[in-house]
Homo-oligomer: A and B are copies of this chain.
Amino acid sequence: MAQKTDPPANTLSEEPAWKQRAIERSTKAAKLRAEQRVERFLDAAQAIITEKGTTDFTVQEVVDRSRQSLRSFYQHFDGKHELLLALFEDALRRSADQIHAAAAGHTDPLLRLKVAVQLLFELCRPDPDAQRPLFTDFAPQLLLSHPTEVKVAHSPLLSLFTELMTEAEAAGELHPDAKPRRLAALTMQTVMFNAQAGGGAPEDGSDDAHVITADEVWEFCSQGFSRH
């Protein structure tokens, strides 16, 4: 899409600056409108999700809800997956902020990490009351279809955890040969997936009480299972 009939780059200096500015001004409004429309789609989708507590929505639903048209939707998104990705990224970014804020309330590196881990766990757990981002719901789908983009979406959280982990390392709280970034990645994945997996309805199998808690996950990530 969109390779306009702009002159090649070498003519940039030939074009009078006023023209470029004019074009830009003219473009800005259009971009703004586009952003608003995108925003409406995103809001509608988010509303539907939190409303029916699932990520199984239809593009049509989003379109109806946002009072726009299919035409418009596909003009702004490459497909449903881009909408999902956008929501996903947003949710992760917001979560990262939230966790960052929570960790800011403490100074001890390990405690900051603990707070972060436990909050992340709560945020990732499928909430029966459906007020949570629910972002772990579509993560799996996207992980299959667009793994690269998912990794990108994870990056705010990864950065945050890497930072926390690095602090901990600086404070000498980690193994001597610890690689903060890798430990951050491992910890994140562990927390997120275990939260998601454990959260469901309590099984009625012979042995119950499986529901992993945030504390257990923290214990596990920080201590492992070995006695040392």
A interface, CB within 8 angstroms of B: 110, 137, 140-141, 143-144, 147-148, 151-152, 155, 165, 168, 172-176, 178, 181-183, 185-187, 189-190, 193-194, 196-198, 200-201, 203, 205, 207, 210, 212, 216-217, 220-228
Contact = CB atoms under 8 A, between A and B. Distances in A.
A151 B210 CA distance: 11
Give 8 closest A-B pairs by Cβ, nearest first: A140-B140, A224-B224, A193-B193, A222-B226, A223-B224, A147-B200, A183-B225, A190-B190
When all copies of this chain in the complex are counted, the total is 2
A175 B223 CA distance: 9
Given A137-B144, A222-B224, A228-B223, A186 B178 contact: no
Given A140-B141, A200-B148, A201-B148, A225 B172 contact: no
Given A144-B137, A186-B216, A226 B174 contact: yes
A227 B189 contact: no
Contact of A216 (B182, B200, B212, B221): B182
A190 B200 contact: no
B181 A225 contact: no
Given A212-B185, A216-B182, A225 B174 contact: yes
